[in-house]
């Protein structure tokens, strides 16, 4: 995931504040290193890290006010650009180019947000902020002699078009008020079927718009040269609002994450219905991809096989097992921080089944055709508890069984004395148990 633009804005404005205060290239380098360090810390795009930065925007807001004071302090018709101003305008140009993707993000949100009571007011607010921001950012690109004229254009556009959009968006985001006719984020959760990645995308895009709004409002008050004490009041107000935004983002993210257990069975039902013509392998792989993407904080097991009575028996702990459209579907998952099961223990149990198969007839050969019988050979501690294994099962090989789980960098099976193990999965061990014509699996 690429570095969020809001974080780059934060880094650059911190650098600007240090530069304006120090006034030397050495201080500027120190400021840029501070910004670089901040960006490096965000390299992986962790949502939690993004939120932590949003909740600590005081340096950004303080720097923004200092920047506006310097720019709008220029006298009309200034022709000569100082080193400080050149540095400032170059960095501001970088900010503007980094915000170029906001239009695309607004377009993406338009595709995602389709619930009628929310779509129109949200897009109206987003477009008002973006339109005024376009005029505002030209302050940093016009010739220096035209900055005062551009400032007047910005003031005119702000007063005619902005319409307090930042605060309206804030109310809809944090307090479930504003022009949205209800809870904006609650509506999004329902529409997205509690899709955590999509909710994170929506909240991050809204936070970026609020960052833009904070620049517009502080820039407007600075351009109007209102009392510095009042500007400080609005700066402090935005600081508090961003703390509330960060708190709301974490709260909503946690709420969505907690709904996975009640949501994912509905996702499976809908996915299988829509893709019921897929063969077992394709259905298993695509269903696994969907679940592991939407519920990325858990490790998933998906098993799909053709439906044949009495030829499978599996234990799933808190999972999903259903026969539909001629297929048997087994799904379960574990937290990603759960300790992995020991391969040696799974292998020992699989070999014990093989030995049983080879010695249950007078001639040492048997081919059982009842999964329940073979499953009953497991120790009760394996069959009846969920402590170690989230799923243990016996499935007939001729059911076209397909297994999907997180993969290792291994693809080859390992066959020994008539039985085979399949080591390509993490957490999942699958064994052909020889003459019984069944596969045993262990997941956890």
Question: Dihedral through CA 147, CA 149, CA 155, CA 156, nearest 10?
Answer: -150
Q: Alpha-carbon distance 398 to 402, whole Å?
A: 11
Token couple for 21: 């205060």
Question: Are 332 and 317 in contact, with CB atoms under 8 Å apart?
Answer: yes
Amino acid 268: pLDDT:
96
Which tokens belong to 147? Answer: 């900055």
Give which of 67, 94, 51 is closest to 210, Cα–Cα: 51
- pTM to 2 decimal places: 0.81
Mean pLDDT of 237-246: 93
Place of tokens 């944090």: 174
Q: How far is CA 39 from CA 14, 29, 377, in A?
A: 12, 15, 57
| 401 vs 418 pLDDT, higher one | 401
Computed over every residue of the chain, the mean pLDDT equals: 77
Q: Residue 384: phi, psi to the nearest 5?
A: -115, 5
Q: How many residues does the chain have?
A: 444
Residue 25, both tokens: 């290239």
Listed as own residue / partner, the contacts of 264-268 with beta carbons closer than 8 Å and 24 or more positions apart are 264/291, 264/294, 264/295, 264/320, 264/331, 265/320, 266/193, 267/193, 267/291, 267/294, 268/320, 268/322, 268/329, 268/331
pLDDT at 209 over 60: yes
Confidence of residue 296 (pLDDT cuts 50, 70, 90): very high
What's the mean pLDDT in 312-339? Answer: 89
Higher pLDDT, residue 137 or 369: 137
Structure tokens at 314: 């599996």
- In degrees rounded to 5, what are phi and psi of residue 395? -135, 135
3-state secondary structure 43-55: CCCCHHHHHHHHC
Rounded mean pLDDT, 50-56? 77
Cα 208 to Cα 250: distance, rounded to the nearest angstrom:
16
Q: What is the pLDDT of residue 76?
A: 57
Q: Which two tokens stand for residue 220?
A: 């407007």
Query: Can you list the pairs that 175-180 forms with residues at least 24 positions away whose Cβ atoms lie under 8 Å?
Result: 178/121, 179/121, 179/125, 180/117, 180/118, 180/121, 180/122
Cβ neighbours, 10 Å, residue 253: 17
Partners of 323 in the β-ladder? 328
> How far is it, in rounded angstroms, from Cα 435 to Cα 358?
7
Of 226 and 111, the structure prediction assigns the larger pLDDT to: 226
Residue in 61, 80, 79 with CA at minimum distance from that of residue 16? 61
Helix axis angle for 196-223 and 184-191, nearest 10°, is 150
Task: Give the CA diameter of the chain.
Answer: 106
CA 113 – CA 389 distance, rounded (Å): 40
Bridge partners of residue 312, in order along the sequence: 395
Minimum mean pLDDT among 66-80, 103-117, 206-220, 314-328: which range?
Answer: 103-117
325, pLDDT greater than 70? yes
For residue 349, the model assigns a pLDDT of 80
CB atoms within 10 A of CB 157: 19
pLDDT digits (tens, 9 = 90+) for 278-295: 999 999 999 999 999 999
With tokens 């066959």, the residue in question is 415
Segment 21-45, tens digit of pLDDT: 454 333 333 333 333 444 444 445 6
Residue 413 has pLDDT above 70, yes or no: no
Asked if residues 334 and 341 have their Cβ atoms less than 8 Å apart, the reply is no
- The pLDDT score that the predictor gives to residue 23 is 47
Alpha-carbon distance of 125 to 272, in angstroms, equals 38
Model confidence at 10: pLDDT above 60: no
* 330 or 5, which is more confident: 330
Residue 18 has pLDDT above 60, yes or no: no
Q: What is the pLDDT of residue 45?
A: 60
Between residues 317 and 270, the one the model is more confident about: 270
Please count the other Cβ atoms lying within 10 Å of the Cβ belonging to residue 298.
19
**In the prediction, which pLDDT does 106 show?**
54
Q: For residues 170 and 167, what is the distance between their CA atoms, to the nearest angstrom?
A: 5
| pLDDT, tens only, 140-166 | 788 888 888 999 999 999 999 999 999
Best mean pLDDT range from 17-21, 217-221, 352-356, 377-381: 217-221
75: which residues sit within 8 A by CB, 6+ positions away? 148
Which residue from 417, 419, 440 is spatially nearest to 428, judged by alpha carbons?
A: 440
């Amino acid at each position: 995931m690429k570095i969020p633009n809001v974080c780059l804005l934060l880094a650059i404005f911190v650098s600007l504040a240090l530069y304006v205060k120090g006034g030397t290239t050495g201080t500027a380098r120190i400021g840029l290193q501070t910004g670089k360090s901040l960006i490096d810390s965000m390299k992986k795009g962790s949502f939690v890290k993004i939120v932590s930065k949003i909740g600590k925007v005081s340096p950004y807001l303080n720097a923004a006010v200092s920047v506006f004071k310097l720019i709008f302090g220029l006298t009309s018709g200034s022709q000569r650009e100082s080193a400080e101003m050149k540095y400032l305008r170059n960095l501001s140009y970088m900010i503007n180019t980094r915000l170029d993707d906001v239009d695309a993000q607004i377009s993406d949100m338009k595709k995602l947000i389709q619930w009628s009571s929310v779509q129109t007011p949200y897009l109206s607010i987003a477009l008002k902020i973006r339109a005024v921001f376009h005029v505002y950012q030209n302050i940093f690109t016009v010739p220096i002699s035209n900055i005062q004229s551009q400032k007047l254009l910005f003031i005119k556009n702000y007063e005619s078009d902005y319409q307090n959009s930042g605060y309206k968006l804030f109310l809809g985001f944090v307090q479930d008020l504003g022009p949205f006719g209800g809870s904006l984020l609650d509506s999004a959760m329902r529409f997205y079927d509690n899709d955590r990645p999509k909710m994170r995308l929506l909240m991050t895009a809204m936070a970026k718009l609020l960052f833009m709004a904070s620049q517009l409002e502080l820039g407007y008050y600075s351009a109007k040269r209102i009392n510095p004490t009042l500007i400080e009041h609005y700066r402090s107000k935005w600081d508090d609002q961003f703390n509330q935004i960060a708190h709301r983002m974490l709260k909503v993210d946690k709420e969505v994450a907690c709904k996975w257990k009640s949501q994912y069975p509905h996702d499976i039902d809908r996915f299988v219905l829509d893709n019921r013509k897929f063969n077992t392998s394709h259905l298993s792989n695509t269903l696994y991809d969907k679940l592991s993407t939407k519920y990325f904080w858990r490790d998933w097991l998906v098993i799909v096989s053709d439906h044949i009575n009495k030829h499978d028996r599996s234990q799933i702990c808190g999972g999903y097992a259903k026969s539909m459209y001629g297929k048997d579907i087994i799904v379960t998952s574990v937290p990603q921080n759960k300790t992995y099961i020991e391969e040696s223990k799974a292998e020992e149990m699989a070999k014990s089944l093989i030995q049983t198969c080879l010695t249950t007839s007078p001639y040492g050969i048997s081919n059982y055709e009842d999964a329940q019988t073979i499953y009953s050979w497991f120790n009760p501690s394996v069959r009846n508890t969920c402590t170690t294994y989230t799923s243990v099962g016996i499935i007939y090989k001729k059911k076209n069984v397909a297994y999907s789980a997180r993969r290792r960098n291994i693809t080859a099976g390992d066959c020994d004395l008539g039985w085979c193990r399949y080591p390509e999965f993490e957490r999942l061990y699958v064994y052909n148990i020889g003459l019984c014509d069944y596969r045993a699996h262990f997941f956890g």
